[in-house]
Amino acid sequence: MLRIDQNRLWNRLMTMAEIGRSSKGGVCRVALTEEDRQGRDLFIKWCEAAACSIEVDPMGNIFARRAGIDHNLPAIMIGSHLDSQPTGGKFDGVYGVLAGLEVIECLNDHQIKTRHPIEIVSWTNEEGARFTPAMIGSGVFAGAFSIDYAYSRTDKEGKTLGEELIKIGYRGKSPLGQRAYKATFELHIEQGPILEAEGKSVGVVTGVQGIHWYDLILTGKETHAGPSPMSYRVDPVRAAIPLLQEIYELADTYAPHAKVTVGYLDASPGVKNTVPGQLKISLDFRHPDAEILERMDRDLKTQIAKQAQNTEVQFKLEDIWYSPPVEFDKDCIAAVQQAVDLLQIPAKKMVSGAGHDAVYLAGYAPTSMIFIPCEDGLSHNELENAAPADVEAGANVLLHAALSLAQQMD
C-alpha cells in the first residue's frame, strides 16, 4: 500500500524547527519577521526541488503546484501555515504544510500522475500573534476581509502588515483568489487532549466551533498608591474582579462545550506605586452552537452594563472578531474516513476547538481537516510534541484522502 516517507517528513519538520529555535526547544517564527522569511524561503526551495511551480499572491500566501494530467481541472489543495506563536511549537501549522509536500514527494517517488493538480499552500499570519485578526491570509483569499483592511493591520510597534510583507519580500503579484479547487484538506495537530486520552491516532474533523474575540477596556483615574485612600480611588482593576468572576461563570452556565478565556490583562501605566488609569482585558468565547455563542455575547453585555452602574470606572467593549461555527464538506469528510478505514488507523470524528485557515476555506471550496494527537494536549507552547508514528499516520491519511479525489472522475 502506498505510504509516505516518515523519515523524510520528520527530518524536514526538525530542519524547519531550527529556524527560530527557542531555548526550550520550541520555535519563534512570528509572521513577517526575518525568521518567517527564512522559513518561507526554505519551503519554496524544497517545493521547487520537487518540481512544483510557485506563486505568491499580494497577501504573501504561497502556492506550490504539482501539475495534473488535465491542467484545466480544479486542484486539490493541501495546506496550513508556517508562522508560529512567540513561544510556539515545532508542529503547529508547519506539519500541515510539510505533510502536503511529502504527499507530492511520495507521488513523485512512485511516478503517480493525478488527473487533478495538487497544490500546497502556506497561509500568511494564521496565528494572529503579531497582526490581528488571526487567519487573515486565508481570510482575504476567501473574501472575508479586504486587502486594504489586511494591509492596515498594525503590530504593537505600529508597523503595518502591508509594509512588513514588502520588507521580507513576500508581497507577491499572483492574482488574489481566483483559484479553483475541487477539495481542500488541512492536516494539523489537535491542540487539545482528546485524541491522546482516547488512544486515537487520527481525528476526522467534521467542523470548527465558533469563536468570538473582544477587548474590554476599563478606564479609571491614575493616582498615587500611598496618599490616596481606597474609598477615593477609581480603580479599574478592582472593578474588573467581580466582572471577571461573572464572565468565567458563563462557561459553567453553557457547559459542557462553552469556553471562556482571558488571554491578557494590561494595566496602564504599569507602575507599582500608581493606581492604574486603564485596564485592557482580552476575551475569547467559543462554542460549536451559534445560538449559544450569541447568548453568551448578550450575557456578557448585560454583565458589563450591570457592573458599570456600581462604579465610576468607564467600561468599553470592543468587538474584535467573530468566526461562526463551521460544518465541513461531507464528501471531503468521507474521503478522510475512507482513508482511515483503508489504513486501519484508530480514529474518531470530532469538532475542532481551535480556529484554522480551513474555517475560511470552507466558504470558498469543499473543505475538511485531519487531526493527530499532541502530547498532553499542549500547543502554543515550546513543549508541544507529537509522536513520529502519529505524524506518519496523519500524513498517510492525507495522502490517500487527497489522492482519491485527485484521481476521481467528475
Residues 238 and 382 in one domain: no
Q: Is residue 221 situated within a structural domain?
A: yes
Residue 172 · residue 84 · CB < 8 Å: no
For residue 1, being part of any structural domain is answered with no
The one-letter amino acid code at 256 reads P
Cα–Cα distance, 132 to 71 (Å, whole number) = 36
Domain presence at residue 292:
yes
Distances (CA, A) of 17 to 35, 70, 378, 385: 11, 36, 17, 12
Residues 339 and 221 in one domain: no
Domain range for residue 15? Answer: 6-209+325-406
Asked whether residue 157 falls in the same domain as residue 234, the answer is no
Is the domain of 184 the same as that of 222?
A: no
Last residue of a domain, one of 281, 308, 323: 323
Tens digit of pLDDT for each residue in 306-365?
999 999 999 999 999 888 899 999 999 999 999 999 999 999 999 998 889 999 999 999
Which residues, at least 6 apart from 368, have a Cβ–Cβ distance to it below 8 Å? 183, 184, 185, 186, 204, 205, 206, 328, 329, 332, 333, 335, 336, 358
Give me the pLDDT at residue 351, please: 93
DSSP letter, residue 201? S
Phi, psi angle pair for 189, to nearest 5°:
-70, 150
Task: Kindly report the length of the chain.
Answer: 410
**pLDDT score, position 107:** 98
Regarding whether 145 and 21 lie in a shared domain, the answer is yes
Residue given cell 496550513 in the structure block: 80
Model pLDDT for residues 136-165, shown as the tens digit of each residue: 999 999 999 999 999 999 999 999 999 999
Which segments in the chain show pLDDT lower than 70? Answer: 410
Please indicate, yes or no, whether residues 281 and 361 belong to a single structural domain of this protein: no
Across 142-201, the runs of DSSP E, i.e. the strands, are: 181-189
* Model pLDDT, residue 353: 87
Do 124 and 195 belong to one domain?
Answer: yes
175 CB-contact burial (10 Å; exposed 0-12 / middle 13-18 / buried 19+) = exposed
Instruction: Quote the CA–CA distance of 32 and 160 in Å, as a whole number.
Output: 10
Radius of gyration of the chain (CA): 23
Element (H, E) at 343: helix 330-343
Residues 314 and 349 in one domain: no
> Both 316 and 331 in a single domain?
no
Q: What is the pLDDT of residue 89?
A: 97
CATH of the domain at 258: 3.30.70.360
Number of domains observed in the structure of the chain: 2
SS3 172: coil
Domain boundary among 280, 308, 323: 323
Residues 6+ apart with CB under 8 A from 172: 55, 56, 57, 58, 59, 60, 61
- 167 lies in the same domain as 266: no
- The answer to whether the beta carbons of residues 124 and 83 sit under 8 Å apart is yes
pTM: 0.85
Q: What's the CATH code of the domain at 10?
A: 3.40.630.10
